[in-house]
Amino acid sequence: MKKIATGNKAVAEAVKQAVPTVVAAYPITPQTEIVEQIAEFVSGGELKSRYIPVESEHSAMAACIGASITGIRTFTATSSHGLLYMHEMTNWAAGARLPIVMANVNRSIGPGWNIWAEHTDSLQERDTGWLQVYVSTVQEAYDATIMAFRIAEHNDVLLPVMVNLDGFLLSHIMQPLDTVEIGDFIPPTHLPYAIDVKNPTGYGGLTGTEEHYKMRWDIERSMRDSVKVIEETEKDFAKRFGRRYGFTENYQCDDAEVIVVAMGTLGKEAEVAIDLLRKEGIKAGSLRIRWLRPFPNLKILKGKQVVVVDRDYSFGRGGILATEIMAQTKEEVFSVIAGIGGQEVTFEDVAEFVRKRRIGTEVWFGVSNNV
C-alpha cells in the first residue's frame, strides 16, 4: 500500500507487520511518535501485542529483556539520553543473546539541551554487542525494521538490533512509503534457551574466569556470522518486495578518484553533491555506511582519496566513523565534523568539503576557516 508517512510512522508500520508479543515504551523527543502510533495500533485492535507503558527507558529495556528471555518477540524505541539511560541494560540484552529490536532516533547528547540530530548517542553503544543499521529514507526505515526482526532472531545471530534514523531530518519528514504484507518473511521466534515457566530450571548468573571470555567470544562469533544472515535476508527481501540494500550504498564509486563517506541523511545529501561535482569535472563518488555493526568491508576505498563526514565525535580522538575507516583501510582521510546537534549541512556544503579537501587533516565545519 502506497502512502505518505514520517520516518517514525514508517517504523511503527513495520512493527505492526512484525507483530511483537511485547512492546515496552517510554516517550522521548523525537522518538515519541513511534510508540504513540504503536499504542494506537494496539488500542484499535490492529496490533495484537502487549503494550507496557513503563516509567523509564531503563525499565523499557528491562521489560524487553524479561519478555524476550521467555522466547517471545519484543520491540522498543528510544533516543539520546533515553538510550544512555538504557546503557546498563543494553549490555545485558546483548550478553544474554536476546533478539530485541529497537529503533533509536538519533539525537544530540546534552548539555546543552538539544533535541536535534547527531549520531553520538548510538555510537556510544557500538561496543555493547548490538547490531546497528543506519537508514536514510522513510522507506528504508520501514524496510530495515522489518528485516531487523528476522536478522536478530536467526539462530546464527541471536543478538539485538538497533535501527537508527536521524532525529527530525528523517523521523518527522514526510516521504512516500510502500508498505507490504510480509507473510512468512519473518519465521516464528525460536529462542533455543528460552525460560519455560512450566518447566522451572535453575540458572547460575555468575561466570568465572574460565567461562566469561568464552561468552564474550561467542558474541563476536555471532557478529561475524551475522554478515551472511544480513546478506541472505536482504537478498530475500529484494526477491519478495523489489527493494535492494547492502552493507553500504555506493553512488558513482566505480571510476571515482575521491569518495565521500557518511551515514544517515548526510549520505543521501552527499549523492546530490556528487552530481554537482561531476558536472564540474571532479570524479567523485559517495559511499553511505548502512551497517556499522558488523562493520562493512570497505576495500572499495583502497587507493582513493576519502572524505569522511561525521555527525559525531570522540573527544580526544576524532570523528568516530573516520577513525573506524582508517583502522580498517589504513587510508588517510579528510575528516570533516559536521551536523553536530542538528547543524545544517547542505549538498553544496558537502561539495565544498570535496573541493577543499586536505587528506590527512581534520576540520570542524563552521569552526575551522578551511571549509
Cα dist from 153 to 20, 89, 146, 149, 157, whole Å:
12, 19, 12, 6, 7
Model pLDDT for residues 253-266, shown as the tens digit of each residue: 999 999 999 999 99
pLDDT exceeds 90 at position 370: no
Q: Which residues are 161's β-sheet partners?
A: 101, 131
pLDDT exceeds 70 at position 242: yes
Buried (b) or exposed (e) across 269-299, using 16+ Cβ within 10 A? bbbbbbebbeeeeeebbbbbbbbbbbbbebe
- Please state at what angle helix 80-95 crosses helix 57-68, rounded to 10 degrees: 30
CA atoms of 275 and 289, how far apart (whole Å):
19
Confidence (pLDDT) at 197 = 82
Of the two residues 207 and 147, the one the predictor is more confident about is: 147
CA atoms of 40 and 74, how far apart (whole Å):
17
Confidence (pLDDT) at 369 = 60
Q: Which residues are 22's β-sheet partners?
A: 50, 74
- Please state at what angle helix 347-355 crosses helix 265-279, rounded to 10 degrees: 60
Model pLDDT for residues 267-320, shown as the tens digit of each residue: 999 999 999 999 999 999 999 999 999 999 999 999 999 999 999 999 999 999
Domains and CATH numbers, the chain: 2-241 (3.40.50.970), 249-364 (3.40.50.920)
DSSP code for 337: E
Confidence (pLDDT) at 367 = 93
> Cell 564474550 belongs to which residue?
216
Confidence (pLDDT) at 264 = 98
Instruction: Report the share of the chain in percent with pLDDT over 70.
Output: 99
SS3 of residue 259 by DSSP: strand
Q: Read off the pLDDT band of 202 (50, 70, 90).
A: confident
Yes or no: say if 356 and 334 are a contact pair by the CB < 8 Å rule. Answer: no
- Cβ partners under 8 Å of residue 225, min gap 6: 156, 157
Cell of 334: 579528510
| pTM of the complete model | 0.97
Element (H, E) at 166: strand 161-166
Task: Please provide residue 9's backbone torsions phi and psi, each rounded to the nearest 5 degrees.
Answer: -65, -35
The count of C-alpha atoms lying within 13 angstroms of the C-alpha of 85, restricted to the half-sphere facing its C-beta, is: 19
Q: Which DSSP string corresponds to 74-143?
A: EEEEE-HHHHHHHHHHHHHHHHTT---EEEEEE---SSSP--S--SHHHHTTTTTT-EEEE--SHHHHHH
